[in-house]
Amino acid sequence: MQLNGLENITLPAGISHFTLEVVFSEVWQSDLPVSASSLRLHCVPVINLFTLEADPLTISGLESEYLLRPKRLQDGHTEIYSVDSVTGSGRTGEARYVPFTRFRHQGGMMRRHAPERYYHTRVKRGVTGMHDTWLILGGQQWEADRELARETVSLRITGTNGQLPRRALQSTLLDRCESISATPLTVRNLCKPTLPAYPRRKTATTGGS
């Protein structure tokens, strides 16, 4: 949560404290209690996500799904959080694929409203214990072109370090700040890294974000 605008408020001289009243837009879940320890000033979340590219794919039309590999897979912990863009080339020029989640199923009308090319992903636990992401392509134009020639597909993805922060930093105090400005800063982590949130054990599909 960000609190902005306090610099525009003129407080009476000598005031030692003030009260903030927070109004939620919906009923707060009772199993998520909020106490004084839940509120901290000058805190920011550290998100275990970053942008990178996946290894390009050669699509022959003979397979129904393709295993994706981030270019940093050799480090043994990088996993795919989401597929953000899919671009193909080599058949009829450059073609962009639309995430499957951007259009709705409309019964028998689905084919009429579906884009010419779309993609979605399937997440499954691999033999190494890491979570693998599989790419599935579809669409009327893609079906028509799949037998003509091979296609090279480039992907932009969001990656995650998986369980590495939890394993490597669970007992480490993070209190060192790199020197990036003349302003003296001190930092400290309030808790150890949490476990990553994976999809349920059953097969899950996503379409990027």
The answer to whether residue 22 is domain-embedded is no
Region of poorest pLDDT, from 46-60, 67-81, 84-98, 166-180: 166-180
Task: Count Cβ atoms below 10 Å from residue 142 Cβ, excluding itself.
Answer: 21
Q: Is 138 helix (H, G, I), strand (E, B) or coil?
A: strand
Structural domain total, the chain:
1
Q: Residue 182: inside a domain, yes or no?
A: no
Which SS3 state, helix, strand or coil, does residue 66 take?
A: strand
Q: Which residues pair with 67 in a beta bridge?
A: 134
Residues 6+ apart with CB under 8 A from 157: 51, 52, 53, 54, 68, 70, 80, 81, 82, 83, 84
Burial call 150-178: b when 16+ CB within 10 Å, e when fewer: ebebebebbbbbbbbbeeeeeeeeeeeee
Residue 31 lies in a domain: no
Average pLDDT score over residue span 56-84: 85
Instruction: Please enumerate, as own/partner, the contacts of 163-170 that have beta carbons within 8 Å and a separation of 24 or more.
Output: 163/77, 163/195, 163/196, 164/77, 165/48, 165/193, 166/192, 166/193, 166/194, 166/195, 166/196, 169/193
Is the pLDDT at 86 greater than 90? The verdict is yes
> Tell me: the pLDDT tens digits for 7-34?
888 888 888 888 888 888 888 888 878 8
pLDDT digits (tens, 9 = 90+) for 103-112: 654 444 455 5
Task: Write down the H helix ranges in 51-193.
Answer: 110-113, 140-145, 164-169
Is 174 among the domain residues?
no
Q: What confidence score (pLDDT) does residue 51 get?
A: 92
Global pTM value: 0.68
Q: CB count, 10 Å around CB of 56?
A: 13
**Amino acid symbol at 199:** P
Residue 26 lies in a domain: no
Residue 65 domain flag: yes
The mean pLDDT value of the chain amounts to 79
101 within 8 A of 206, measured Cβ to Cβ: yes
Range of the domain at 97: 50-163+202-206
In a domain, 61, yes or no: yes
pLDDT for the residue 181: 64
Query: Rounded mean pLDDT of 160-175?
Result: 78
